[in-house]
Amino acid sequence: MPQPGSATVRSRVRIPLTFPDGYRAEAETFTFHDLADGAEHLALALGTVPEGGTPLVRLHSECLTGDVFGSDRCDCGPQLRESVERISEAGGYLLYLRQEGRGIGLYNKLDAYALQDSGLDTYDANTALGLPEDGRDYTAAAQMLAALGATGIDLLSNNPDKAAQLAELGIVVRHRVPTGVHLSASNVRYLRAKVERTGHSIELSRLVG
């Protein structure tokens, strides 16, 4: 994979965060010039990286239904909440990437939900719509990390593809740190498909039902 061109920091602004359960964190939020895909991705700096330490980084793909409305069909909202706390404690960055529905967009994601209701898993539903199983490209994420000086990271993710893409793009992933298992009656098939289809590091023994 060719190395991405340079991006630069466009602006930075402090945003205090409060989650529905009352958890609070302070984020310094960065915007960027010259990202490869032209999308308005954000980086949130949380906590303080210890001297000589490695930042903990989460690449979080936007999920309106999970992050904003609290949908139980996925684990995105709980992962976002968990990530902010863990990164605040360790020091690092949360990259909020505008990649709704693994890159297929909000309307297509909802169309895929309808197909899942008829029995398809989350990946087959995408392909039935003529769309990629996972259309995400992390070139912009690598550009953002480079602009922030974070070219060696610990990656908070269950997804091996994120680590593999970042490594190909010149970001050294020292460790991949799994998130918790955020299980509900509505997302068990979704989580099981992640494990069985794309090798996510989620314990299958936890996915009962």
Phi, psi (degrees; rounded to nearest 5) at 73 = -75, -15
Q: How far apart are CA 108 and CA 131, in angstroms?
A: 9
- DSSP H stretches of helix in the chain: 76-90, 100-103, 106-117, 122-128, 139-147, 160-168, 188-198
34 is catalytic: no
Count Cβ atoms within 10 A of the Cβ of residue 101 and give its class: 0-12 exposed, 13-18 middle, 19 or more buried.
Answer: buried
* List 67, 111, 121, 134, catalytic entry: 134
Residues 87, 38 contacting (CB under 8 angstroms) = no
Count Cβ atoms within 10 A of the Cβ of residue 174 and give its class: 0-12 exposed, 13-18 middle, 19 or more buried.
Answer: exposed
Partners of 175 in beta bridges: 154
75 is catalytic: no
* List 136, 154, 176, 192, catalytic entry: 136
Question: Sign (positive/negative) of CA torsion 14, 80, 127, 72?
Answer: negative
Catalogue the active-site residues: 134, 136
